[in-house]
Amino acid sequence: MSSPAASSDREKVVSKLPGWLRQNLKIRAAQYGIDIQAAVEQGIRDWCSLASTVSTVDTAGADSFATFLPHNRWEEFRQIATDRRVSLIQGLAQSVQLWLDTNPAPDIQRPAITRRMVVCNQKGGVGKTAITAGLGEALAEDPNSLHPVRVAKALTKALRDSDTDTATTELGDDPLEIENLPGPGLRVLLVDFDPQCHLTNQLGATPLSMNGDSLTNHMAGDPKGQLRDLIVSVDDENFEGRLDLLPACNDAFLLDVRLSAVRAREAALERALAPLEGDYDVIIVDCPPSLGLSMDAAAYYGRRRDNEKPGQSGALVVVQAEDSSADAYELLTTQIDDLRADLQVDIDYLGIVVNLYDSRRGYIATSSLKGWVDIKDPRVVGLIGDLKEQKEAVRVKKPLLSYAPKSQQAVGMRALAREVM
């Protein structure tokens, strides 16, 4: 069951493990950020040190499993298994299960202050809604399952090469650029703050009635009930109740007019959403393409609060690699800078997401991407390709990360989530 040494201090050993136990091992090792071989080595060491036998593990259907162990560790394990009258397969399974029992799934790291991410740009059509949904889905994914994530070095390479056609590398299929990681498992609320109701419709929910209650009513100081009663769950097994949506209502077209009569109107969104914050780790606001009072309220909601670390909350700006996005970006940043100065608040930028990117569009796309990269502050934190899966997910009204969980766009959304976490 052993082969020639793979390195100066380890040897490859081959045995068998049942598929379910191997999968649990992969997930738990990823949760702790350690190599599988380190977990197996620790499990074998602890199993060999036991003073008594442990429960038998069901090894039905076990198939080949290989790892690397220090020299002589396997021979010691083999001898102890013989002494205990258990097969090597059973002994290995018990060792792995022992490590799993000793290292239970870690608790989710929840922020002390609910993080507030405001997805914005004055220009319509850049894909703010798609980024809002994809980011929220990625943050809420199952922490006890592995999901393909594009590693940071792949994004770095693409951005470094952004002045050439090699920028397509970051959007390619090279398996070396992908890492399987547990989902963050955060509790996320998506807020559809756009009267066009795109986020609501894309996720298969129903826009709120003009005759009923809405976020607009709560911001205007005229609520008709509890805001949390309007929230709907994004019903999908991948999120297990961790992803919710506050649907939009067409009455938001009147929000700026109604806010003009509200005292301290910049804080109107915060006043409305504050009662919900205790239920969520992250609240993501999908903003309309507007520079009006509603955008002031959204930007203020993302301001840095007392005792909150820089970069925990703030504005995530979605752009495209073309000139009109740059013009809209200037208008948005001017508005946020004015709000900072007028109200004496800190509003952080979480970064820039270049969405719907396709280098095949030529010089305009590649040179524009380079322009975004050159800004540096805020930095580019995401590069999402213009591919069919997102459009298909919208058509069937399903979350992208459920409809096409292994697609390049899904992999990129997970990378974005880890950049802003």
Band (71; pLDDT cuts 50, 70, 90): confident
**Whole-number pLDDT of residue 2:** 42
Residues 34 and 182 in one domain: no
CA 372, 374, 379, 383 torsion: positive or negative?
positive
Q: In this structure, which amino acid lies at residue 200?
A: T
How many Cα atoms sit within 13 Å of 328 on the Cβ side? Answer: 21
The pLDDT tens digits for 36-45 are: 999 999 999 9
Same domain, 97 and 177: no
Distance CA 370, CA 374 (A): 6
Domain boundary among the residues 78, 102, 126 is at 102
Phi/psi for 121 (5° steps) reads 180, 140
239 plus 357 within the same structural domain = yes
Same domain, 244 and 275: yes
Residue 110 maps to a domain? no
- Global pTM reads 0.89
Average pLDDT (76-104) is: 94
pLDDT digits (tens, 9 = 90+) for 244-303: 999 999 988 889 899 988 899 999 999 999 999 999 999 999 998 888 899 999 999 999
Decide which of 50, 71, 102 is a domain's last residue.
Answer: 102
Q: What is the mean pLDDT of the chain?
A: 89
Residue 171 has pLDDT above 50, yes or no: no
pLDDT digits (tens, 9 = 90+) for 9-31: 789 999 999 999 999 999 999 99
Output the pLDDT for position 304.
97
Tens-place pLDDT, residues 358-398: 888 888 788 888 888 888 889 999 999 888 999 999 999 99
Q: What confidence score (pLDDT) does residue 157 get?
A: 58
141: in domain: yes
Amino acid (1-letter code) at residue 152 = A
Specify which residues 245 forms β-bridges with: 190, 232
Structural domain includes residue 109: no
Same domain, 76 and 138: no
Let me know whether 201 and 340 are in one domain: yes
CATH number at residue 77: 1.10.1220
Say if 14 falls within a structural domain: yes
Identify whether residues 128 and 23 lie together within a single domain: no
* Residue 175 confidence (pLDDT): 44
DSSP string, 228-243: GGG-EE---TTTTT-E
Whether residues 121 and 189 fall in one domain: yes
pLDDT digits (tens, 9 = 90+) for 192-232: 999 999 999 999 999 999 999 999 999 999 999 999 999 99
- Asked if residue 266 is part of any domain, the answer here is yes
pLDDT on residue 315 = 97
Residue 290, domain CATH: 3.40.50.300
Overall domain count for the chain: 2
Distance CA(107)–CA(109), nearest Å, equals 6
Residue 108 in domain? no
Q: Is residue 129 within 8 Å of residue 286, measured between CB atoms?
A: yes
Q: Which of 48, 79, 102 is the last residue of a domain?
A: 102
Reply yes or no on whether the pLDDT at 402 is more than 70.
yes
Residues 26 and 137 grouped into a single domain:
no
Residue 64 domain flag:
yes
- Residues 155, 170: Cα–Cα separation, whole Å: 6
pLDDT(336) > 60 = yes
Do 133 and 91 fall within a single domain? no
128, 207: one domain: yes
What residues make up the domain containing 38?
2-102
pLDDT of residue 339: 95
Question: What's the pLDDT score for residue 160?
Answer: 60
327 and 354 both lie in a single domain:
yes
pLDDT tens per residue across span 107-166: 998 999 999 999 999 888 889 999 999 999 999 999 999 999 987 655 655 566 554 444
Question: Looking at residue 168, what is its pLDDT?
Answer: 42
pLDDT value of position 373: 87
The reply to whether 23 falls in a domain is yes
